[in-house]
Structure formats: C-alpha cells, structure tokens
C-alpha cells in the first residue's frame, strides 16, 4: 500500500475512515482509453469500480464503501474539448469544475450556469452524478437541466451516450435494451456513480446578459414567515437571480446578522413587486458581497470550540413543509437535540429547485444543516440519527437530501438504478445499492 | 504543544486545485487536503513503517507557499501544520534527511548555505561592483561603524553571480537617494530561513543571534533586504528592538514619492513572490513602484514559482515541473517576468524565463530610462 491508496479517501462527508486495505488500485486516467484499461483491470480481478471527482460530496458515495474496489478519479480529466458560442455548448472532460470552465468562458461573455457553493472543487461529472445545483437553480435549473448529453463507459467496457432524448451505444443490443427501458439523462443524474464512469459531457452555455441587478436583505421574525415569503416567490415565479437563506447560525459565525434571513438579488424593475409581499432592505454592493461571503463560508467555518460537521446535508422544504416551516424545523431540531447534537448552522438556496426520485421537479428551500461534532458518539449511533432524520422527513413531507438524492432514502430512484443495472451490469459503486450500506457507512464515521 | 488544527479540516477540497504540488502531479496525496486527511487517519496507518516514511517525505514535497492557508475558510493554519510536521519528521527519522546534512553543517560551520568561507560574503560582488559604485568598499560593515540603514543581502545575493544585476541596481539606488547605509558583509550570518523551513528552530536562532548584535551595534534604524525569506526571519523572528525590517520595495516606495519613467520596450508581467505577498502581506508597495515607473504589466496568477519550501533541494524534479507548467500556462515566452525575490529569480532563470527585479527597473529608469 502507498499513500496514494489512502489519500484517495479524502472526502467532505463524515464517512472518511475507510478500510484502506480494500482499495485494490487507484487510477487517475486522462483519456477514455485509460478509463477502459482501468475498468478492464477491475473486471479481470472481480473488483468494483468507484468513480471519484472532487470528493466534495457529502453522502460518502465517492468512498466506495468497503467493497474490494478500484478508485477512479477524474481529477486529471480536465480537458476542454470544444466550445460553440453560437450553438451554446461546451464539450468537457468530467474532472473540470464550473469555476475552471467559466474562467475560460468568461472572456467570451458566456457562462455555464451551475453554481454549487463547492464549485471550486466539485467536478461536472460529480455534480451530474448528484444532480447538484446552486443558489441560481431556481432560474437556471439543476445540473441535469444544463447537461445536453454525456458519454460514459460501463463495467464491461461498452460505451454509452445518454441525452434527454434517449441513449446510444456502440453495442446495438445494449442500445435497444436501454431504449426499451427509456433511459435518459434523468437516470444518470443522481446515479452516484452506479451506472458507469462519465468520460465526457456536453453542457449548455449561455451568454451573460447585462441586467441591472440589485441586492437586498429580508429578515424574518420566525420560520413560517420565511417559508411563506419563499412560497410567494415560487407562486409568482419571481425573477430571483440569487437567493440564499441563513436560517440559523451559531453566534460565533453570525457576524452581527439576525437570522432567519434571505439574501436576494433580482432585476431592479422587479423590486416594487417583491416589496408587496416581502419586507426587504436594499443593500449596497459591498454589503451584498459581504453577506454572500458570510453565507458561502458557513459550511467551512468552525465555532470557537469544537468542529462543525455535516451529519445530514440537506432538507428540501416544499409545499406544506415550506409554508409551515416553523413546525417542520422544530420537529427536526427536537430530533437532533434528542440525539445530543448542537445545531451550528442552517442555510441554503432559496428559492430553489430539485428533482424527486421519480424525476418530477420540486420547488422550495434546500436547507443545509451543520451541527457541532459530538464527542464520544459511535458511527452506528450517528448513522441511526441519520436514518431517524430520513424517517422524520418522510413524515413531514420534506425531501431528504434534495441535492443528493441519496438512493438509500429514495425508493423510486434506487429501484430505477437497479432496473438499469440489470441491463448494464453491476460493478460500479455497488455498495450504495446494497442492503448493508447503512452498516458500511456507519463503520466509516 | 503540537497544534491539532488539521482536525478542523472539513475536507471540503477548496484548497486542492490551488496547490502547485497537486497541479504538478495531479494526485490527491500531494494536495493540502490529502495531507490533512492523512493526518486525520494517521492512527490507521502509522504502524506501517513504509507509509510513515512516505509521509515524512511528502511533507517536504511542498513549497510552503501558503496558498492553502489563504484559501481555507475553516481556520486550519496549514502553514503552521506543515512547519510542525516537518520538525516532527526530522526529529523522528533524522537518517531519512541526511541529504540535508550538508546544508545544516554548512550553516553551523560557516553560516552560509554554500559552505564557503564567511569572509567571501563581501568578495564576489565587491570585486564586480567596486568600479560602478565608488566607495562601496567603505560601505561594508566593520566593528565600530554605524549607519541609519543596514543592508542584509542574504546568502543567494551574497554569493550568486546571477544576482549581480540586482545588487548593482540596489546599490545604485541607495546612492541615488543618498541613504546612509552599510552592508553586513562578512559579519552577516544566514538569516536562518532554511533551518526554519526544516523545523529546526534552535539552529535558526543560533544564526540570528549574531545578526541581531551586529544590527544593534551598527545602531541601524532600518534593515533593508531584497529577499522575502530573509525578511520573514528579520521581521518576525530576529526580535530586533530598535530597527524596522523592510523589503527593498517597501523602502524605495516610502523613500521615492515619484520616480523617473521606465522606458518600456518589452511585455512585462508581475509575479508576486509567495513569501512576500502571502506570508508577509506586502502587495501594494511593489505595485505602487511599478505605477510610479509608469510601466504596463500583466498580473500573473498569485501562485508559486516552485522554488520555495526547500523544494529545490528536496525534489528538484517537481520544482522544475511547477515552473515549466506555470511558464506554459501563463505564456511567458515573450514576457519579462518582474519580481522581487532572489529565489524566484533563480527559479525563473533556471527555466529559461527572462526576469527582472523591480529594483532593476528603478535603476534603469534613474539611469536615463535605458532598458
Ligand atoms: C463546502 C461545500 C459546499 C457545497 N455546496 C453545494 C451546493 O451548493 N450545491 C450542491 O448541489 N452540492 C453542494 N455540495 C456537495 C457537493 O459539492 C456536490 O455533491 C458535488 O456535486 C460533488 O461533486 P464532486 O466532483 O466533488 O463529486 P464526488 O464527491 O467526488 O462524487 C460524488 C458522486 O459522483 C460520482 N462521480 C464522480 N465523478 C464521476 C464520474 N466521472 N463518473 C461517474 N460518477 C462520478 C461519485 O462516485 C459519487 O457517487 C457542497 C459540498 C461542500 C463540501
Ligand atoms: S480548504 Fe481547509 S477545510 Fe477545506 S480541505 Fe483544505 S484544509 Fe481542509
Ligand atoms: S503550502 Fe503551497 S505547496 Fe504546500 S500544501 Fe499548501 S498550497 Fe500546496
């Protein structure tokens, strides 16, 4: 074993104590040919393949669990293959981040409109595999809405091109079977590396339009008023270009602000309509940038004492759970506290959009939650808390992990992935769909 | 007490793509997150002697550029972690760092990194520059001499021919502004920076003591150096009571409200030396001087040249890859890289880039604008 076999386990989730002995090879391919060779090695030895991008995912999916496996990183697949400003697309390898892509596009006045807070490290391959999005998902959609098609390689080395319209393959039988199953990009979105390795993506790029945008702050007396304000924006299809909420923040990182609050940016001419249903205070550019900075750094900051951690990275409040947010949050906080967890920060994209496991779109607040890492809790206890949260979310009408669609809490998604894997074959990130997934994850906390 | 600030790393990955070592190799163990992660799971791997050894080596495959510390929003003082871990590594397995012994011995015996006679500190450049700078010999410090400003050249500038043009420009400009100055010459010890980078605080302090007493005896109110590494030591670790340590860009920016205009005929780009702008926070003065000189220049990415953290000694191959990748990425072929650090200069010259220290531009402008 070498340090490269261990360092590949570095990831942002709380599942980071891997059984390194089960990692049978670490690959950093540069081309599809390299990918095929690595997969062939895994296949010949009966090992699983775990794709990894930036390792910023919070579900532990890029760890590969404790299967005998090879780890395949996309971090050296960072070529920009083609750009068409006229048609509006860019062809890229999967290891590029939105920041890297946009650095090239910016001088052309074009942009990829996918902006997770982790866009400095999250790769486009990883973002599609979790169907991530950012504070502009409300206007610009999630990663799947911005992906035209992907090329991927399956465990038996066959090649697929999957788009919104359907699927193509170098193997006509496979193509026919997957077409019968109706495979589209929706299936690749949130598939957590269980179907194959994405080697190339064709992404939508659009011109940056010169709108005059203004920023403002809305502070709320309670969570219901916050939820109802966001619900109002959804109903009116408000043109919010940037919408973030800080629901609560530990006093050490609050920096004088008073959550719950919303940080909003919208076209100047929309302000009068927004004022009809939300009490907003206009911010100058510096104040607005400062608030944005406070928000974006919340997932990384720590309290004076202790360290924050992401026990359960996302809650999707929509419909009733959004309008009755006070009740929903009280229930969640009571549950967290009963498990001895001290809330550290709750914040997220608002209004936002995500997809449910059956591929219907939902609109509301994607709230990330961080707690202070408790001392002396076992992995099993923490995972039990996660499972209790999932159950609680179901009873409250909240989407658990809306940005991640972690298949183990999404029956529709996991059965669809299993259905496709019957055709494509297993071999990719299998632990996720395994019944023992909970135990494996808890062993890594 | 060892800091455990690496515990605060939430492994978000924001530092990964900024690290020159990660960019050079493209594998996670070289990235700052990779290394904090290795520390976080050390209990799982430290029993394996080969892995422990590899980790010790990895700690020296880093330029200590500080970019990771700057990017991190989780209060992980990464530079401190790397320093502490290096000290621990050398202490635990000195035999693995025997290749650094020659350097350590040279510093212990003759107080310079080249193992040359200490008297030679003021020989090479004095021979070369005596005619250009009349009276230069009298500027060399001897017991009993005093001056307002002490010039601290550092090992690179004292001994390397490649630094001669910078020295000539520095002395020309000190004369031009009428400064009352002395050069430490043979009485200068290495500032201790190389030992500090290996985590050998005691060895570094032994070197600093002598410098401190010379500066005090000369009654200098200012110590001026062109070398950011020396400045880190002079400003942060020499504990100088009555003298303020300044980078030459700070000194001349303060001294000269206006400067003659530089006659620019080539494309210029400014490279911020990591130790100067990130560790010492000196960003505005070099730019202010460039503005006064009226030059047009391109800002380069604030990343490392690959020459810091002893990497040139510990892994010259990686150091070369970093500067070559940088030259290609930033299209330096037709550009003169302006910088303000003798170590960056060496690194740039070794990779066949053209470079000038800001002081050279200043001297050229003062001498009539010839390039
Ligand atoms: C500080 C912070 C802020 C964040 N903010 C947001 C946010 O605003 N919005 C959001 O949506 N998420 C956010 N996240 C979560 C995370 O960034 C996303 O889940 C992101 O999509 C993961 O991308 P990655 O490249 O890091 O993938 P990884 O974490 O490496 O992997 C994620 C999944 O994708 C699979 N995968 C990766 N590459 C490939 C490939 N080439 N082929 C097939 N499968 C692949 C992996 O197997 C794994 O299942 C945040 C995380 C952090 C740490
Ligand atoms: S930026 Fe800081 S918290 Fe994030 S991975 Fe790097 S060291 Fe860790
Ligand atoms: S100090 Fe520089 S080279 Fe070292 S880990 Fe940090 S970013 Fe990388």
All structural domains of chain B with their residue ranges = 5-92, 109-255, 268-366
Closest ligand 1 atom to Cα of A195: 43
CA-based torsion, A168, A174, A176, A179: positive or negative: negative
Question: B109-255 has which fold?
Answer: Glutathione S-transferase Yfyf (Class Pi); Chain A, domain 2 (1.20.1050)
> What is the β-pairing status of strands A206-207 and B335-339?
unpaired
- Mean of per-residue pLDDT scores for chain A: 94
Closest ligand 3 atom to Cα of B63: 3
Question: B5-92 has which fold?
Answer: Fumarate Reductase Iron-sulfur Protein; Chain B, domain 2 (1.10.1060)
Strands (E), A15-146: 23-27, 48-52, 69-73, 80-84, 89-92, 110-111
Indicate the number of domains in chain A. 3
**Distance from residue A242's CA to the centre of ligand 1 (Å):** 21
Looking at this predicted complex, what is its ipTM? 0.91
**Statement: residue B264 has pLDDT above 60:** yes
Q: Are residues A171 and A288 in the same domain?
A: no
For the segment B29-76, what is each residue's pLDDT rounded down to a tens digit? 999 999 999 999 999 988 999 999 999 999 999 999 999 999 998 889
Name residues contacting ligand 3 (CB within 6 A).
B 18-21, 32, 62-68, 78
Residues of B with CB under 8 A from a CB of A: 7-8, 10-14, 16-17, 26-29, 31, 33-35, 37-38, 40-41, 44-45, 48, 51, 54-55, 58, 72-75
B47 CA to chain A: closest CA distance, Å?
13
Say yes or no for a CB contact (<8 Å) between A56 and B12: yes
Across the range B82-107, mean pLDDT stands at 94
A97 lines ligand 1 (CB under 6 A): no
**Statement: residue B136 has pLDDT above 70:** yes
Strand partners, A150: A162, A201
Which among A7, A18, A54 is the nearest to B34, CB-wise? A7
Identify the segments of chain A with pLDDT beneath 70.
404-405, 407-408
For the segment B191-232, what is each residue's pLDDT rounded down to a tens digit? 999 999 999 999 999 999 999 999 999 999 999 999 999 999
Residue B3 — very low, low, confident or very high, per pLDDT cuts 50/70/90? Answer: very low
For the segment A423-436, what is each residue's pLDDT rounded down to a tens digit? 999 999 999 999 88
| Residue at A50 is within a domain | yes
Long-range contacts of B26-30, Cβ-Cβ distance < 8 Å, separation of 24 or more: B26/A28, B26/A75, B26/A76, B27/A4, B27/A7, B27/A26, B27/A28, B27/A75, B28/A4, B28/A7, B28/A8, B28/A10, B28/A55, B28/A73, B28/A75, B29/A3, B29/A4, B29/A6, B29/A7, B29/B58, B30/B58, B30/B61
A209 CA to chain B: closest CA distance, Å?
27
Q: Are residues A346 and A219 in the same domain?
A: yes
**CA distances to A162, A171, A282, A314, B74 from A150, in Å:** 5, 16, 42, 26, 35
Residue having the nearest C-alpha atom to atom 28 of ligand 1: A55
Q: Are residues A56 and A7 in the same domain?
A: yes
Q: What's the confidence (pLDDT) of residue A61?
A: 94
Look up the CATH number of the domain holding residue A65: 3.30.43
| Residue at A183 is within a domain | yes
A300 CA to chain B: closest CA distance, Å?
5
Look up the CATH number of the domain holding residue A176: 3.30.465.10
B79 lines ligand 2 (CB under 6 A): no
Q: What's the confidence (pLDDT) of residue B369?
A: 54
Q: Are residues A253 and A387 in the same domain?
A: yes
Say yes or no for a CB contact (<8 Å) between A299 and B55: no
- A59 at interface of B, judged by CB pairs closer than 8 A: no
A28 contacts in chain B (CB < 8 Å) = 26-27
Residues 6+ apart with CB under 8 A from A30: A76, A77
| Residue at A259 is within a domain | yes
Q: What's the confidence (pLDDT) of residue A405?
A: 64
| Residue at A411 is within a domain | no
Q: Are residues A165 and A301 in the same domain?
A: no
B41 contacts in chain A (CB < 8 Å) = 6, 9, 16-18
DSSP-derived secondary structure letter, A359: S
B31 contacts in chain A (CB < 8 Å) = 7, 10
Candidate of B18, B40, B74 to mutate for ligand 2, largest count of ligand atoms within 8 Å of Cβ: B74
Q: Which of A227, A217, A317, A320 is nearest to A275 (CA)?
A: A217
For the segment A169-212, what is each residue's pLDDT rounded down to a tens digit? 999 999 999 999 999 999 999 999 999 999 999 999 999 988 89
User: Containing domain of residue A188, as a range?
Assistant: 80-207
| Residue at A388 is within a domain | yes
Read off the tokens for A38: 């690595």
Q: What's the confidence (pLDDT) of residue A386?
A: 87
Across the range B154-176, mean pLDDT stands at 96
Distance CA A138, CA A312 (A): 22
Q: What's the confidence (pLDDT) of residue B333?
A: 87
Residue B101 — very low, low, confident or very high, per pLDDT cuts 50/70/90? Answer: very high
| Residue at A410 is within a domain | no
B73 CA to chain A: closest CA distance, Å?
6
DSSP-derived secondary structure letter, A47: -
A441 CA to chain B: closest CA distance, Å?
16
Q: What's the confidence (pLDDT) of residue A147?
A: 98
**Distance from residue B61's CA to the centre of ligand 1 (Å):** 28
**Distance from residue B32's CA to the centre of ligand 2 (Å):** 7
Say yes or no for a CB contact (<8 Å) between B28 and A308: no
Look up the CATH number of the domain holding residue A269: 3.40.462
**Distance from residue B304's CA to the centre of ligand 3 (Å):** 9
């Amino acid at each position: 074993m070498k340090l490269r076999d261990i360092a590949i386990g570095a990831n942002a989730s709380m599942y980071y104590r891997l059984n390194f002995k089960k990692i049978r090879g670490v690959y950093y391919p540069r081309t599809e040919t390299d990918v095929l060779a690595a997969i062939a090695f895994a296949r010949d030895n009966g090992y699983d393949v775990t794709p990894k991008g930036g390792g910023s995912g919070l579900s532990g999916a890029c760890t590969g669990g404790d299967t005998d496996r090879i780890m395949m990183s996309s971090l050296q697949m960072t070529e920009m293959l083609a750009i068409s400003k006229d048609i509006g697309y860019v062809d890229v390898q999967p290891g590029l981040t939105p920041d890297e892509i946009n650095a090239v596009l910016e001088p052309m006045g074009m942009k990829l409109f996918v902006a997770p807070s982790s866009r400095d490290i999250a790769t486009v391959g990883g973002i599609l595999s979790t169907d991530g999005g950012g504070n502009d998902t409300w206007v610009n959609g999630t990663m799947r809405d911005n992906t035209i098609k992907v090329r991927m390689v399956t465990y038996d080395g066959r090649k697929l091109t999957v788009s919104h319209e359907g699927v193509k393959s170098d193997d006509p039988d496979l193509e026919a079977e997957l077409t019968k199953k109706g495979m589209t990009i929706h299936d690749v979105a949130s598939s957590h590396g269980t179907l194959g390795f994405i080697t190339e993506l064709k992404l939508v790029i659009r011109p940056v339009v010169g709108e005059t945008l203004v920023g403002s702050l809305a502070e709320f007396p309670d969570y219901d008023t916050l939820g109802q304000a966001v619900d109002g924006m959804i109903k009116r299809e408000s043109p919010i270009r940037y919408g973030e909420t800080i629901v609560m923040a530990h006093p050490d990182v609050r920096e004088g602000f008073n959550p719950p609050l919303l940080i909003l940016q919208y076209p100047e001419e929309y302000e009068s309509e927004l004022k009809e249903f939300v009490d907003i205070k206009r911010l100058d550019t510096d104040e607005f940038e400062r608030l944005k900075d406070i928000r974006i750094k919340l997932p990384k900051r720590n309290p004076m004492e202790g360290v924050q951690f992401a026990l359960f990275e996302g809650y999707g409040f929509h419909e009733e759970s959004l309008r009755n947010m006070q009740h929903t949050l009280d229930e969640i906080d009571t549950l967290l506290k009963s498990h001895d967890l001290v809330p550290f920060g709750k914040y997220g994209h608002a209004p936002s959009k995500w997809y449910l496991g059956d591929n219907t779109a939902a609109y509301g607040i994607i709230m990330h939650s961080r707690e202070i890492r408790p001392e002396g809790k076992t992995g099993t206890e923490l995972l039990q808390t996660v499972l209790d949260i999932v159950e609680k979310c179901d009873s409250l009408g909240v989407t658990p992990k809306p940005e991640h669609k972690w298949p183990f809490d999404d029956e529709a998604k996991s059965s669809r992935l299993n259905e496709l894997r019957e055709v494509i074959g297993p071999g990719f990130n299998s632990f996720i769909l395994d019944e023992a997934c909970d135990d494996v994850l808890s062993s890594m906390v | 007490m060892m800091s455990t600030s690496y515990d605060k790393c939430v492994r978000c990955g924001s530092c990964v793509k900024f690290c020159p070592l990660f960019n050079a190799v493209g594998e996670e163990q070289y990235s700052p997150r990779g290394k904090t992660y290795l520390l976080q799971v050390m209990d799982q791997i430290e029993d394996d002697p080969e892995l422990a050894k590899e980790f010790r080596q990895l700690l020296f495959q880093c330029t200590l550029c500080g970019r990771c510390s700057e990017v991190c929003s989780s209060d992980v003082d990464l530079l401190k972690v790397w320093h502490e871990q290096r000290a621990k590594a050398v202490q635990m397995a000195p035999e693995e760092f025997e290749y650094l012994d020659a350097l350590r011995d040279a510093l212990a015996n003759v107080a310079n990194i080249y193992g040359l006679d200490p008297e030679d500190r003021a020989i090479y450049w004095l021979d070369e520059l005596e005619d250009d700078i009349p009276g230069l010999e009298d500027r060399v410090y001897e017991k009993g001499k005093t001056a307002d400003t002490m010039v601290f050249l550092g090992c690179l500038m004292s001994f390397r021919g490649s630094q001669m043009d910078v020295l000539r420009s520095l002395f020309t400009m000190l004369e031009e502004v009428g400064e009352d100055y002395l050069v430490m010459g043979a009485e200068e010890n290495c500032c201790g920076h190389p030992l500090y980078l290996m985590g050998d605080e005691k060895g570094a302090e032994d070197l600093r003591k002598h410098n401190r007493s010379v500066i005090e005896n000369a009654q200098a109110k200012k110590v001026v150096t062109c070398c950011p590494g020396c400045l880190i030591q002079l400003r942060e670790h020499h504990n100088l009571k009555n003298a303020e340590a300044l980078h030459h860009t700070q000194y001349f920016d303060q001294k000269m409200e206006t400067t003659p205009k530089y006659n620019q005929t080539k494309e210029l780009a400014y490279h911020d030396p990591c130790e100067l702008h990130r560790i010492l926070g000196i960003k505005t003065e070099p730019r202010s001087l460039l503005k006064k000189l009226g030059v047009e220049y391109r800002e380069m990415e604030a990343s490392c040249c690959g020459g810091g953290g002893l990497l040139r000694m510990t892994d010259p191959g990686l150091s070369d890859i970093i500067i070559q990748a940088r030259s290609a990425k930033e299209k330096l072929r037709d550009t003169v890289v302006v910088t303000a650090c003798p170590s960056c200069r060496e690194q740039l010259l070794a990779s066949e880039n053209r470079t000038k220290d800001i002081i050279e531009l200043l001297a050229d402008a003062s001498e009539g604008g010839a390039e």
